[in-house]
Amino acid sequence: MLRDDLTASLRVALAEAGVEPPAAIGLERPARREHGDWSSNVVMATAKGAGWNPRELAAEVVATIAAAPPRHVEAVEVAGPGFVNFRLAPTWLHDVLVDVVTRGEGGYARHEFGAGRKVNVEFVSVNPTGPLHAGHARGAVFGDALARLLERCGHEVHREYYINDRGTQLAAFGASIAARRAGDEVPEGGYQGDYVAEWAAEMADGDDATEWGYARALADQREVLARLGVEFATWFSERTMIASGAIDATLADLRERGVVYEDGGATWLRSSDYGDDKDRVLVRSDGEPTYLLPDIAYHRDKLRRGWEHLIDVWGADHHGYVPRMRAALHALGVDPAAFEVAINQLVKLERGGEEVRLSKRTGDIIELRALLDEVGADAVRLVFLLQSIDSRQTVDLDVITTKSMDNPVFYVQYAHARIASIGRKVAEAGVTRAPLAAVDLSLLVHERELDVLRSLAELPDVVAAACADRAPHRITTWVRELAGRFHGFYHDCYVLGDVPAELTQARLWLVESSRVGLLIGLGLLGVSAPDSM
RNA sequence: GCCCCCGUAGCUCAGUGGAUAGAGCACCUCUCUCCUAAAGAGGAUGCGUAGGUUCGAUUCCUACCGGGGGCACCA
């Protein structure tokens, strides 16, 4: 590995100067091309402690490395306050190309640091009381893309959906369906959405409104999620834990551990002993469990099924719920580090700059189904994977639906379509791609070509960081960059036409490496790679 | 009041403990006899404020200001 060669050379040079090399040698791609291909700040980080002037130490290190430079290195320089900058021959990027196409879509930028880790990712988990709205797509595509990243990094991943099919919300929904069926207004606290009346009209006489409505809502959600490309291995029903006794068993477990007490007729969890602001009710004074107790039982169940690390994807409106859940699991003897919550800030929907409020209860909802009808799953996925979930996202439905020029999905997919088009043209021209070993990649020296390869060189690091930081949007950023660089290459560097045959061959392999990179990136996002547009 | 997230270009957002902070949109110009112009090239402005840590802070910490969300025997 090139990087290992560079860090090794730095380590040796530091030791030769009498400086103890640190465990981790900083090595990065400089933001500016004139600072070389790789740069290390290790001298600045160590000079002071070793009693050296940073620039003098850097000069020593550079002299040592220059005397016996690692493969591909053309020049080593001291720069700025003590950076050690490496200038490499383009051959290092040709090695990257070979690496990409030999490992291929399945192997390049794949990691094993998650091997042996069993991770359960629970996301969406919307109440079965209505259709999914446009805002729900954010958590859905985030959770799915995160799962894809975890898988690519070696984890064993299980996607799961928790169905809250018991309790006051479902009862209110059933009452609303029944009222609409009877031609009445929905009761106080019921669901006002138009869909309630529409669904009620589908119901057969004699059906139980709550059960029928529950099944109707769940089927609707499953179908829409499937259209979005999101599939769950487990749809976990809260009710099944009543039948299985899991809720009672969880309460008994908590009691045994002495973290439960009775007060005012209710049963409380001593969550404040575990970092929560206050104690929480597990069983109301009317004997009904709160939402919390079954949820604790559910998380306990996930762990008992063998998933050692739990990731929940929640909306920001549930953020305050995190400490009590973590406290409950801690109280059950679970390592708090095994429970992780990814909070996505809420989506603000607009129509031509006017905010659209989303509420199932007041009835003003933009159904995810309608959004999929208009723009398709690829556009929806990419839009909701554009930015960090830590910041609020504003989506203008007019922009996304009518002027899709604003939607980067076309830009990215067009790059793949162009690659496919080149393939067709090449076939028409009767040109065949020679085996990689027979092709002279050293002909690839155009800046446009090298830029594509530089992007590909970064993909493994980008994937690892995106996974570790739970930040799938970094893959989107990377794919957009690669697509942009490919468009630049396509514009300036013809593969066919007035090009020497040897260069055509080299460029065909560059195109192939781009294709592999796009497929990996788009695959992680769950966005398709069309052959034509 | 307490807790969480955010504050970067006119707008929507990337970005990093480092050396001159990027992209898209919008605006103005260019580029198709050649692999799809859904493309490419050129053009301006910016890290909310004040301290601190550090060789170095837009990035980490604190306070303040501004925006969003949450503080139930609802879920």
DSSP state letter for A160: E
Per-residue confidence (pLDDT) for residue A32, from 0 to 100: 86
Per-residue confidence (pLDDT) for residue A168, from 0 to 100: 87
Please list the alpha-helical segments (H only) found in A163-259: 168-181, 194-202, 209-227, 240-244, 246-256
Q: How far apart are CA A131 and CA A128, in angstroms?
A: 8
Measure A382 CA to B27 C1' (Å).
27
In the predicted model, residues of chain A with pLDDT beneath 50 are 403
Q: Considering just the CA atoms, what is the radius of gyration of chain A in Å?
A: 28
User: Tokens for A186?
Assistant: 């929905």
pLDDT digits (tens, 9 = 90+) for A483-517: 999 999 999 999 998 899 999 999 999 999 999 99
Per-residue confidence (pLDDT) for residue A400, from 0 to 100: 74
Q: Which nucleotides of B are covered by protein (CB under 7 A)?
A: 2-7, 12-26, 34-41, 55-56, 67-75
**Listed residue (A208, A213, A224, A243) closest to A161, CA to CA:** A224
φ, ψ of residue A265 to 5 degrees: the values are: 85, -5
pLDDT digits (tens, 9 = 90+) for A323-378: 999 999 999 999 999 999 999 999 988 877 777 765 555 555 688 998 898 889 99
SS3 content of chain A, % helix, strand, coil (to 5): 55, 15, 35
Within 7 Å: CB of A142 and strand B? no
Measure A475 CA to B34 C1' (Å).
34
Within 7 Å: CB of A34 and strand B? yes
Per-residue confidence (pLDDT) for residue A203, from 0 to 100: 95
Measure A405 CA to B28 C1' (Å).
20
Residues 244-273 of A with CB under 7 A from strand B: 263-266
Measure A390 CA to B62 C1' (Å).
22
| Residues in CB range of A231: below 8 A, 6 or more apart | A159, A225
Per-residue confidence (pLDDT) for residue A364, from 0 to 100: 57
| Residues in CB range of A331: below 8 A, 6 or more apart | A254, A257, A259, A269, A270, A271, A273, A274
State the angle between helix axes of A501-525 and A91-107 in degrees (0 to 180), rounded to the nearest 10: 50
Residues 282-301 of A with CB under 7 A from strand B: 284-286, 288, 290-292
**Listed residue (A484, A463, A481, A480) closest to A472, CA to CA:** A463
pLDDT digits (tens, 9 = 90+) for A47-69: 888 888 889 999 999 999 999 99
User: Tokens for A89?
Assistant: 């021959």
Residue A237: strand, helix, or coil: strand
**CA of A471: nucleotide with nearest C1':** B14
Measure A407 CA to B17 C1' (Å).
34
* Nearest residue (CA) to C1' of B32: A491
Beta bridge partners of A281: A268
Query: What are the CA-CA distances from residue A153 to residues A19, A139, A461, A462, A495 (Å)?
Result: 35, 21, 11, 11, 34
Measure A315 CA to B32 C1' (Å).
48
Within 7 Å: CB of A336 and strand B? no
Query: What are the CA-CA distances from residue A173 to residues A179, A437, A459 (Å)?
Result: 10, 65, 47
Per-residue confidence (pLDDT) for residue A497, from 0 to 100: 85
3-state secondary structure A246-313: HHHHHHHHHHHCCCEEEECCEEEECHHHHCCCCCEEEECCCCCECCHHHHHHHHHHHHHCCCCEEEEE
pTM for the predicted model, two decimal places: 0.95
* Nearest residue (CA) to C1' of B11: A353
Per-residue confidence (pLDDT) for residue A402, from 0 to 100: 59
> How many percent of chain A have pLDDT more than 70?
97
User: Tokens for A297?
Assistant: 């039982």
Per-residue confidence (pLDDT) for residue A362, from 0 to 100: 52
* Nearest residue (CA) to C1' of B39: A487
